[in-house]
Structure 1
Amino acid sequence: MTTLAEAGRALALESARYAALGWMRGTAGNLSVVLEHDPLRLAVTVSGRDKGELTDDDVVVVDATGATTDPVKVPSAEAGLHGRIASVSGAGAVVHVHAFAPVVAAEYWPGGVELRDLEMLKGFGRAAHDDLVTIPVIPNGQDMRVLGDAFEAGYRSDTPALLVARHGIYVWGEDLRQARHRLECLEWLLRFAVETKRGVA
């Protein structure tokens, strides 16, 4: 089981990595690590902090709905969606960034972004050939219960990612490392789709 201190260190390091890539500009984006599954408890990055400058202490514990009992720290506004994703998928970590290509891809293909026959799909956990991968897209909104319902309605266990239109991308995995690798590969794939106008039948 991951301790809160361990989660804080890991989340600060990952946030700095994504900020350096330009995927967490300003205070945008949020990351989480599951501390325990039953009942579900997650360590989530706090709201309103520069993601390139987080410290080990810039995390807060939330439940499956994104609620916290911490009287001081404010969790990310999207903590409830992190909780829903972890609950449904069984993931150990969820990352949400505002990389540009995924947002553009969701704009081009609001019904879902189709990818196939690309070697980088193996890094996302799918086959490089003869495997149609559709990354779901849901409308943006401020009610995390509504977004959670939309996510769950289109959830597939073999597609660990979600695009929120005009907002950003969520990717998850067994831990932060796996989630990062999946995100890096998927960002490349979506950038390829956008730049070549491929990825749609």
Structure 2
Amino acid sequence: MSGTSAGRRIGTGELEAAGRALAAEAARFAGMGWMRGTSGNLSVVLDRDPLRLAVTVSGLDKGELTSSDVVVVDGRGAAVTDQPRPDLVPSAEAALHARIAEVTGADAVVHVHAMAAVLAGHWFPDGVPLRDLEMLKGIGRAAHDETVVVPVVPNSQDMDEIAGAFEPQWDGRTPGFVVARHGMYAWGQDLAQARHHTEILEFLLTFATETRALR
């Protein structure tokens, strides 16, 4: 297929491989209860000049995706015109995935509705402070003598609003943020690292919410 007339040709096999990887990760997160029903979405960068991402489709059970349940979107999150399956619709959050990939340089983005993130956004609307926890190493931060604040932004149906709220808070190092009463986004250099960051952030957010009364 042709992702764009101006950019590199994105082959059907490449898109199928991306879809297969995304479906496997979605099934994993669905099994953990973080992508209930049709909630949540994932993406991987296919090209950067111009920006193109493979994003999971909207409206399907994330535990039952197949390699063909992906859509190629541009840097604004809109489906490109030349698609193998033009009937498929990208996730509503595709624009935010594209913005995260552009701003952070990440090649994979994960959005899940883990309860720990929803609760953390409720209890820590100004950001989730974390300190002196060994698991901070898993997101590339120091385990001691450094306070890490995971950004929390208000929820919105406008992805530009969420991006606009996140970017001023991001310290350039923490690979994730919370959307209040919604869920969290995490990212990495590939899907495996994005998964690891998601799992570690969920652990850290769980700790923060369960110990909030002691702070």
TM-score band w.r.t. shorter chain: over 0.9
Q: Is residue 76 of structure 1 aligned with residue 76 of structure 2?
A: no
Runs of 5+ unmatched residues, structure 1: none
| Offset of residue 23 of structure 1 | 0.2
Partner of 1:166: 181
Answering whether residue 78 of structure 2 is matched by residue 50 of structure 1, we say no
Q: Aligned residue for 1:142?
A: 157
1:112 aligns with 2:127: yes
1:94 aligned residue (109, 125, 143): 109
Deviation at 1:148, TM superposition (A): 1.5
Displacement, 1:154? Answer: 1.7
Task: Work out the CA distance in 2 between the residues paired with 1:6 and 1:134.
Answer: 35
**Alpha-carbon deviations, 1:20-46, whole Å to 9, x = none?**
000000000000000011111000000
Contact 1:60–1:75, Cα closer than 8 Å, also in 2: yes
Percent of matched pairs sharing the same residue: 64
Unaligned runs of 5+ in 2: 1-9
Work out whether residues 113 and 199 of structure 1, in 8 Å CA contact, stay in contact via their aligned partners in 2: no
Structure 2 residue 51 is the aligned partner of structure 1 residue 40: yes
**3-state DSSP of counterpart to 2:47:** strand
In structure 2, C-alpha distance between the alignment counterparts of 1:155 and 1:122, rounded to whole Å: 18
Provide runs of 4+ in structure 1 moved above 2 Å. none
Which secondary structure does the structure 2 equivalent of 1:55 belong to?
coil
Structure 1 position 152 matched with structure 2 position 152: no
Matched to 2:155, the amino acid is N
- The Cα of 1:150 is off from its aligned counterpart by 1.3
Q: Whole-Å Cα distance in 1 between the matches of residues 130 and 89 of structure 2?
A: 37
> In structure 2, the residue corresponding to 1:75 is in which secondary structure?
coil
Q: Give the aligned CA root-mean-square deviation in angstroms.
A: 1.5
SS at match of 2:26: helix
TM-score, scaled relative to structure 1: 0.96
Tell which deviates more after alignment, 126-135 or 43-52.
126-135
The offset of 1:63, in angstroms, is: 0.6
In the superposition, the TM-score normalised over structure 2's length comes to 0.90
Which moves more between the two structures, 22-31 or 117-126?
Answer: 117-126
CA distance in 2, matches of 1:8, 1:27: 16
What secondary structure is seen at the aligned counterpart in 2 of 1:3?
A: helix
> 1:156, CA displacement in angstroms?
2.1
Distance 1:82 1:162 in 2: 12
2:197 to 168, 177, 182: 182
Residue 24 of structure 1 aligns with an amino acid whose one-letter code is: M
Q: Which amino acid aligns with 1:115?
A: L
Offset at residue 55 of structure 1 (A): 0.3
Distance 2:52 2:156 in 1: 24
Shift, 1:198, TM fit: 6.7
Deviation at 1:130, TM superposition (A): 0.9
Aligned length: 200
- Counterpart CA distance in 1 for 2:199 and 2:67 is 23
User: 2:72 is paired with a residue of what secondary structure?
Assistant: strand
